[in-house]
A and B are shown apart, each in its own frame.
Chain A
Amino acid sequence: MRPVYAVTGGVSKFAKARPDRTFQALVKEAYDYALKDIGLEPRQANDLVDGTVGSYFSDHFQRQLMSAIMVQDYLGLVPKPGHRVEGGGATGGLCFQEAWKAVAGGDMDVCLAYGFETMSHVQTWKGNEFIALASDVSFDYPVGGFYSGYYAMMVTRHMKEFGTTVEQMAHVSVKNHINAIYNPYAQKHLRITIRDVREAPVVAWPLTRLDICTMSDGAACAILASEEGLARIEKAAGRSLPKVRVTGIGRGTDAMRMADRPHQSFEDFYRYNALPNEQDADSRAYYKDLWDRGFRYPGVHSFRAGRMASRQAYQRAEVTDPLNQIDFVELHDAYTSSEIQTYEDMGLCRYGEGGRFAESGLAFMPGIEYGLDLPQRPKCSVNPSGGLIACGHPVGASGLMQAVFAIWQLQGAIGRHFGNDRLQVRGARRGAIHSHAGTGTYVTVSILEKED
Chain B
Amino acid sequence: MENHDIPTRPEETLDGTVVFNVPFPKDLKDLAGMAPVIVKQPYHIDYIHSYGQDSPFFAGLANRRLLGSRCTACGHTFGTPRMSCMACGGDCEWVELPQEGRVHTFTVCHFGSEEFLPECPYVLALVEFEGVDTLFLTRLLGVDPARPSLDWIGMKVRAKFRRLSRFKPTDVWFVPA
Contacts and interface: CB of A to CB of B under 8 A. Distances in A.
Contact of A148 (B41, B106, B111, B138): B111
A142 interface: yes
Contacts of A132: 113
A300 interface: yes
A279 to B, nearest CB: 26
Interface string A129-162: 1011000011110111110111011101101100
Interface string B117-145: 10100101110000001111111000000
Contact of A128 (B80, B104, B112, B169): B112
Interface string B164-177: 00001110000000
A356 to B, nearest CB: 18
A139 B105 contact: no
Interface in A239-262: 255, 257-262
**Contact size range, B:** 35 or more
A204 B117 contact: no
Contacts of B117: 125
B114 interface: yes
Contact of B150 (A129, A137, A145, A156): A156
Given A63-B43, A145-B116, A204 B170 contact: no
A300 B104 contact: yes
Kindly name the residue among B54, B79, B86 whose own CB sees the greatest number of chain A CB atoms within 10 A: B86
B110 A205 contact: yes
Interface string B36-60: 1010010100000101001000000
B108 interface: yes
Interface string B53-89: 0100000000000000000000000111010001100
Given A138-B54, A144-B122, A149-B109, A157 B43 contact: no
B172 to A, nearest CB: 10
A125 B36 contact: no
A138 B86 CA distance: 17
A205 B51 CA distance: 31
Contacts of B133: 262-263
A452 interface: no
Contacts of A263: 133
Given A138-B54, A259-B126, A125 B169 contact: no
B134 A259 contact: yes
B112 A144 contact: yes
B115 interface: yes
Contacts of B124: 143-144, 146, 149-150, 153
A162 to B, nearest CB: 12
Interface string A162-200: 000000000000000000000000000000000000000
A126 interface: yes
Contact of A262 (B87, B136, B139, B168): B87
A138 B117 CA distance: 19
Contacts of A201: 110
Contacts of A142: 168-170
Kindly name the residue among B104, B109, B135, B153 whose own CB sees the greatest number of chain A CB atoms within 10 A: B109
A261 B170 CA distance: 21
A406 B106 CA distance: 36
A448 B94 CA distance: 48
Interface string A399-420: 0000000000000000000000
B169 A260 contact: no
Contacts of A154: 105
Contact of B80 (A19, A204, A257, A300): A257
Contact of B109 (A140, A146, A160): A146
Contacts of A70: none
Contacts of A125: 111-114, 117
Contacts of A144: 109, 112-113, 116, 119, 122, 124, 139
Contacts of B122: 144
A204 B43 CA distance: 29
B87 A139 contact: no
A374 interface: no
A157 B113 contact: no
Contact of B153 (A137, A139, A149, A160): A160
A157 B154 CA distance: 11
Nearest to B51: A138
A205 B152 CA distance: 13
Contacts of B112: 125, 128, 144-146, 149
A292 interface: no
Contacts of B41: 63
A159 B150 contact: yes
Given A63-B41, A144-B122, A259-B79, 10 more contacts: A125-B111, A143-B138, A144-B112, A156-B105, A156-B106, A156-B153, A160-B150, A202-B110, A204-B110, A258-B135
- Give the top 5 A-B pairs by smallest Cβ distance, nearest first: A152-B107, A129-B113, A157-B105, A125-B114, A259-B135
30 contacts: A63-B41, A63-B43, A126-B114, A129-B114, A140-B137, A142-B170, A144-B122, A145-B112, A146-B111, A146-B112, A152-B107, A153-B125, A154-B105, A156-B105, A156-B106, A156-B153, A157-B104, A157-B105, A203-B110, A203-B111, A204-B108, A255-B86, A259-B80, A259-B126, A259-B135, A259-B136, A260-B80, A260-B134, A262-B86, A262-B87
